[in-house]
Amino acid sequence: MAVTAATPPATAPIPKKRPPVILDFARAQPLAAFSMFFIVSLIIASILAKWIAPYDPFALDFGVMLQPPSADHWFGTDNFGRDVFTRVLYGAQTALMIGILASFVGCMIGGVIGVVSGYFSGRFDFIVQRFIDVMLSFPIIVLAVVAVAMLGKFLVFGVDLNLVIAIALPIVPKVARVVRASALTIREMPYIDAARASGFSPMRIIFRHMTPNVFAPFIILFAAFVAQAILLEASLSFLGLGVTEPTPAWGLMLSGNAADFYREAPWMIIFPGLAISVTVFAFNLFGDGLRDYLDPKFKL
Partner 1 sequence: MARYILKRVLYMIPTLFGVAAIIFLMLRVVPGDIVELKLRGDGAAVSQETIDAERTRLGLNRPVHEQFAEWMIGVATFDLGKSMWTETPVIDEISNRFTLTIQVAIMATIIAILLALPLGIISALYKDSWLDQIIRLFTIGGLAMPSFWVGMIIILTLLNVFNWLPPITYTPIWVDPIANISQLIWPALAVGYRYSAVLTRMIRSQIIEVMLEDYIRTARAKGVFERLVIGRHALRNALLPAITVLGLEFAFLIGGLVVTEQVFNLNGIGRLFVQAVTKNDFTLVQGIVMLIAVIFIFTNLLVDILYAYLDPRIRYGGK
Burial label, 231 (beta-carbon count in 10 A; 0-12, 13-18, 19+): buried
> By C-beta, is 114 or 242 nearer to partner 1?
242
Residue ranges in 216-235 that form contacts with partner 1 under rule CB under 8 A: 227, 231, 234-235
Q: Which stretch binds partner 1 (CB under 8 A): 2-10, 43-51, 58-66, 258-266?
A: 258-266
Q: Which of 141/181 has CB closer to partner 1? A: 141
Q: Which is nearer to partner 1, 139 or 246 (CB)?
A: 139
Nearest approach, Cβ of residue 133 and partner 1 (Å)? 5
Kindly state whether residue 259 participates in binding partner 1, applying the rule CB under 8 A: yes
Residue whose CB is less far from partner 1, 47 or 135: 135
CB of 85 to partner 1, least distance (A): 18
Residue 284 interacting with partner 1 (CB under 8 A): yes
Buried b (16+ CB within 10 A) or exposed e, 181-208: ebbbebbeeeebeebeeeeeeeeebbee
Output the smallest distance, CB 285 to partner 1, in A.
Answer: 7
What single string gives the DSSP state of each residue in the chain? Answer: ----TTSPPTTPPPPPPPPPHHHHHHHH-HHHHHHHHHHHHHHHHHHTHHHH-SS-SS---GGGTTPPS-SSSTT-B-TT--BHHHHHHHHHHHHHHHHHHHHHHHHHHHHHHHHHHHHH-HHHHHHHHHHHHHHHTS-HHHHHHHHHHHH---EETTEEHHHHHHHHTTHHHHHHHHHHHHHHHHHTSHHHHHHHHTT--HHHIIIIIIGGGGHHHHHHHHHHHHHHHHHHHHHHHHTTSSS-TTS--HHHHHSGGGGGGTTT-THHHHHHHHHHHHHHHHHHHHHHHHHHHH-TT---
281 near partner 1, judged by CB under 8 A: yes
Q: Is 141 in the site for partner 1 (CB under 8 A)?
A: yes
Q: Which of 210, 226, 243, 285 binds partner 1 (CB under 8 A)?
A: 285
Residues 144-183 that bind partner 1 (CB under 8 A): 145-147, 149-150, 152
Q: Kindly tell me which residue out of 26, 219, 270, 294 binds partner 1, with binding defined by CB under 8 A.
A: 270
Q: Which is nearer to partner 1, 146 or 189 (CB)?
A: 146
Interface with partner 1 includes 297 (CB under 8 A)? no
Q: Note whether 283 and 227 are within 8 A (CB).
A: yes
Contact between 277 and partner 1 per CB under 8 A: yes
Please report, as residue ranges, which positions from 79 to 138 form the binding site for partner 1 (by CB under 8 A). Answer: 130-131, 133-135, 137-138
Please report, as a single letter, which amino acid is at residue 8. Answer: P
Q: Does 19 participate in binding partner 1 (rule CB under 8 A)?
A: no
CA nearest neighbour of 160 among 108, 95, 225: 95
- Decide: is 266 part of the binding site for partner 1 (CB under 8 A): yes
# residues near partner 1 by CB under 8 A: 42
Contacting range for partner 1; rule: CB under 8 A; set: 38-46, 67-75, 97-105, 262-270: 262-270
CA 6 from centroid of its chain's CA atoms: 54
Residues that bind partner 1 (CB under 8 A): 130-131, 133-135, 137-142, 145-147, 149-150, 152, 227, 231, 234-235, 238-241, 251, 254, 258-259, 262-263, 266, 269-270, 273, 276-278, 280-281, 284-285
